[in-house]
Amino acid sequence: MSKSVSPLFATGLLLASALVASTLIADASQSYGFGKVLPPNEAAKWSDDVRGDGKGLPPGHGSVKDGQTLYASQCASCHGDFGEGAGRYPALAGGNGTLKADRPVQTVGSYWPYAPTLYDYIRRAMPFPTPGTLTNDQTYALTAFVLNVNNIVPANADLDAAKLAAIKMPNRNGFIDVHLKPDTHAVACMKNCKPAPPQITSDLARTLGVTPSVTSDAAHLDIDESTAPAKTSAKSAKGDASSMDALSNAAPAGKAGTVVAPAAPAATVTFAQIAPIVAQRCATCHAAKPTQAGFTSALMGIRLDTPEKIHSLASQIKTQAVSSHQMPIGNVTKMTDKERALLGQWIAAGAPTP
């Protein structure tokens, strides 16, 4: 629901726009050489807005009865005989009690907070094809009729400025004018601000295959984008295990797309080197009693909490955490590419255990 504008704020806006307008007018005559400065009495003719509290309502009056006649000839074709709306033109009545429903029906009767606004709107904007043609009395009469079909004033009502301003609309208290809490709490830094390089704290995009991982797994996979077929990188981005395995076993392509000799084989990685990695990055979920919040037993029965179990699951570990980034799921335990490479080397060395 939109917020109503407080009268104070509205006045401020008016003052501000009046200032801007007079500045523009003055500037136009001085700097652009066309137009003329409007004398105050002419400028006043444009200032016909009516406030929600009734300020700005002109003299005059009009009855529901007169309004009915005018409405039938000038409004009913679009808004229906009783304000129910015709075709795709809006209804002006009904909808009471629907504002909290799935499909609220917002009309003058169910939604508008102030009656004088109705006067302002009709005089300014209606009839749709010929706005500005209604006299003040006609506008009062039409306002009275629209309020009557909404059961807000009786059929014998005759409205003037004071009576219109005194009407309390049904949804008068349905608007708020307090500002909602800001949805961010950033504090602006004005001096001695640290340059803050963006820090990527989640690997999720890559795990989900949103970001191709053609260069990040440099330790075991280095595809030159200019030569690698697009299909392959798309596949590897999805973590397709078999193609990833095939690729990681192939000699990595060099910068210019030529095949270069693989780096000298790393010294054999021992179980002692990978144990803390598995404990920190995997066993939080894959243990008899996971420590990861929300998990109560080893996921899919996969336990990575003893050397034997880790050894026997080596090929699955490779599929899930080395050749692809499927695990750790969402990388919630923040496994690094270096750690993945190390695990890969340990598995390549036959997954030795103590």
Which regions of the chain does DSSP assign to beta strands (E)?
61-63, 158-160
Rounded to 5°, angle at Cα 60 from 42 and 121: 70
Region class of 240: left (phi > 0), else alpha (psi between -120 and 50), else beta:
beta
Q: How far is the CB of 195 from ligand HEC (least distance, A)?
A: 33
Of 253 and 335, which has the nearer Cβ to ligand HEC?
A: 335
Q: Which of 201, 231, 300, 308 binds ligand HEC (CB under 6 A)?
A: 300
Distance from the Cα of residue 45 to its chain's centroid:
41
Residue 286 near residue 305 (C-beta atoms within 8 A): yes
Q: Does 281 bind ligand HEC (CB under 6 A)?
A: yes
198 binds ligand HEC (CB under 6 A): no
- Is residue 317 at the binding interface for ligand HEC, with CB under 6 A as the rule? yes
Site for ligand HEC in 199-218 (CB under 6 A): none
Could you check whether the bond before residue 104 is cis, i.e. omega within 30 degrees of 0? no
Coil vs helix vs strand at 158: strand
User: At 348, phi and psi to the nearest 5?
Assistant: -60, -30
Q: Rounded to the nearest whole angstrom, what is the least distance from the CB of residue 9 to ligand HEC in the complex?
A: 21
Quick one: 223 or 327, whose CB is closer to ligand HEC?
Answer: 327
CB atoms within 10 A of CB 297: 12
Backbone phi and psi for residue 159, each to the nearest 5 degrees, phi listed first? -100, 140
Q: Which among 30-38, 45-53, 247-255, 332-340 is the span making contact with ligand HEC, rule CB under 6 A?
A: 332-340
Q: At closest approach, how far in Å is the CB of 269 from ligand HEC?
A: 15
Mark 110-135 as b/e (b = at least 16 C-beta within 10 Å): bbbebbbbbbbbbbeebbeeeeeebe
Binding mask 87-106 for ligand HEC (x = CB under 6 A): --xx-x--------------
| Closer to ligand HEC by Cβ: residue 165 or 335 | 335
Give the chain's radius of gyration (CA, Å): 37
Subset of 59-78 contacting ligand HEC (CB under 6 A): 74-75, 77-78
Sites for ligand HEC among residues 151-190 (CB under 6 A): none
Asked if residue 285 binds ligand HEC (CB under 6 A), the reply is yes
| 333 touches ligand HEC (CB under 6 A) | yes
Q: Which residues bind ligand HEC (CB under 6 A)?
A: 74-75, 77-79, 89-90, 92, 107-108, 118, 121-122, 126-129, 142, 146, 281-282, 284-286, 292, 299-300, 302, 316-317, 320-321, 327-329, 332-333, 335
